[in-house]
Amino acid sequence: MRPAFPVSLTVSASLIGDTFLYTVLPVSAARLGVEPLLVGVILSANRWVRLVTNPLAARLYERFPAGRLVLLAIVLGAISTSLYVDPTLIVAIVAARLLWGFCFSLLRLGAVLAAIDEAGARAGRLLGETRAIWGLGYLAGALYAPVAVETVGWPLAIAGAAVLTLAAGLGPALLAAPWRRAMHVHEDAPVPASIWEPRMLALFACGAANLVVGAGIVVVAGGIRISELYRDGAPVLGIALQATYIAGVFILTQRFAQVLWQPLAGRLADRSIGRSYLAGAMLGSAGVAILALPVSATTFIAAAALFNVAGLTSSLAAELAVARGASAVDRPRVLAVFHTWQDGGAALGALAGGALAAAGTAFALAVAAALMLVTVPLWLFARAQTRIAVPA
Q: CA-CA distance, 40 to 10, in Å (whole number)?
A: 27
Tens of pLDDT, residue by residue over 240-288, are: 888 878 887 887 888 788 888 989 998 898 888 999 999 999 999 999 9
CA angle 331, 199, 126 (to 5 degrees): 40
Alpha helices in 230-296 (DSSP H): 243-260, 262-271, 273-291
Q: CA-CA distance, 377 to 277, in Å (whole number)?
A: 11
Closest CA to 70 of 100, 111, 101, 98: 111
| Least reliable range by pLDDT among 66-75, 98-107, 117-126, 214-223 | 117-126
Q: Are 266 and 314 in contact, with CB atoms under 8 Å apart?
A: no
Query: What average pLDDT score do residues 125-147 get?
Result: 88
Instruction: List CB contacts of 66: < 8 A, sequence separation 6 or more.
Output: 3, 110, 113, 114, 176, 179, 180, 181
- In this predicted structure, what is the pLDDT of residue 352? 86
Instruction: List CB contacts of 352: < 8 A, sequence separation 6 or more.
Output: 40, 212, 216, 217, 364, 367
Q: Are 39 and 29 in contact, with CB atoms under 8 Å apart?
A: yes
Closest CA to 56 of 43, 45, 69: 69
Q: Are 65 and 117 in contact, with CB atoms under 8 Å apart?
A: no
- In this predicted structure, what is the pLDDT of residue 193? 44
CB neighbours of residue 90 within 10 Å: 15
Q: Parse the chain into domains and list their residue ranges.
A: 4-180+191-387
Provide the pLDDT confidence category of residue 357 given band limits of 50, 70 and 90: confident
For helices 297-324 and 90-119, angle between their N-to-C axes, nearest 10 degrees: 50
Between 96 and 357, where is the model more confident?
96
Assign 88 to helix, strand or coil.
coil
Provide the pLDDT confidence category of residue 381 given band limits of 50, 70 and 90: very high
pTM (predicted TM-score): 0.78
Provide the pLDDT confidence category of residue 386 given band limits of 50, 70 and 90: low
Assign 384 to helix, strand or coil.
helix
Query: What average pLDDT score do residues 51-55 get?
Result: 93
CATH of domain 4-180+191-387: 1.20.1250.20
Ramachandran bin of 197, using left for φ above 0, alpha for ψ from -120 to 50, beta for the remaining angles: beta
Q: Of the spans 14-28, 76-90, 249-263, 323-337, which averages the highest pLDDT?
A: 76-90
